[in-house]
């Protein structure tokens, strides 16, 4: 956005704001007109373009400066592409990261979503259940969408005949 804003700013600054008046011959005076004069409408357009381009530059700059922090704080991966078994170490690490499982030293327990667990295995099991529910709901939504799409296509075929 920053680069687009800079290009837009260059365009706005290069806008022509003058117009040439027509030349007329007046007997006794000769040729009158043909001069460049400032057109207030074009000046106002350039001013508007300068404001908008300045805002685009500022938004692009702030996205650049503050966007990096949010990318660093974002979870590494919301998708696990391996075997979803609690015996899989990679899956366990994925669950720990996604569900924010931490060890609380004060209570000497594991914490996930405000709930405490005596052992890491119990916290991982709870995260696994939530993950399975999430994927079941996602698959259910996918099936509903597929069914709706098929019905929609079938209705359209009937109307085209």
How does pLDDT run across 94-141, given as a tens digit for each residue? 989 888 899 988 888 999 988 899 988 899 999 999 888 888 888 898
How does pLDDT run across 20-35, given as a tens digit for each residue? 888 888 888 888 888 8
Q: What is the pTM of this model?
A: 0.46
Q: Where are the beta strands (DSSP E) in the chain?
A: 18-20, 24-26, 30-32, 36-38, 102-104, 109-112, 115-117
Task: Give the pLDDT score at 101.
Answer: 92
Total Cβ atoms within 10 A of residue 124: 20
The angle at the Cα of 101, spanning 131 to 90, to the nearest 5 degrees, equals 60
């Amino acid at each position: 956005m920053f680069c687009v804003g800079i290009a837009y700013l260059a365009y706005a600054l290069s806008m022509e704001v003058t117009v040439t008046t027509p030349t007329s011959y007046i007997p006794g005076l000769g040729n009158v007109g043909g001069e460049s004069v400032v057109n207030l409408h074009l000046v106002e357009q350039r001013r508007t373009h300068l404001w908008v381009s300045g805002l685009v530059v500022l938004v692009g700059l702030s996205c650049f400066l503050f966007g990096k922090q949010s990318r660093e704080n974002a979870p590494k991966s919301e998708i696990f592409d391996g075997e979803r078994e609690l015996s899989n170490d990679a899956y366990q690490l994925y669950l720990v990261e996604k569900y924010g499982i931490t060890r609380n030293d004060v209570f000497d327990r594991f914490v996930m979503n405000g709930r405490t667990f005596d052992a890491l295995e119990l916290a991982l099991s709870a995260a696994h259940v939530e993950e399975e529910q999430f994927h079941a709901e996602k698959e259910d939504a996918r099936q509903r969408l597929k069914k709706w799409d098929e019905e929609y296509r079938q209705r359209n075929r009937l109307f085209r005949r």
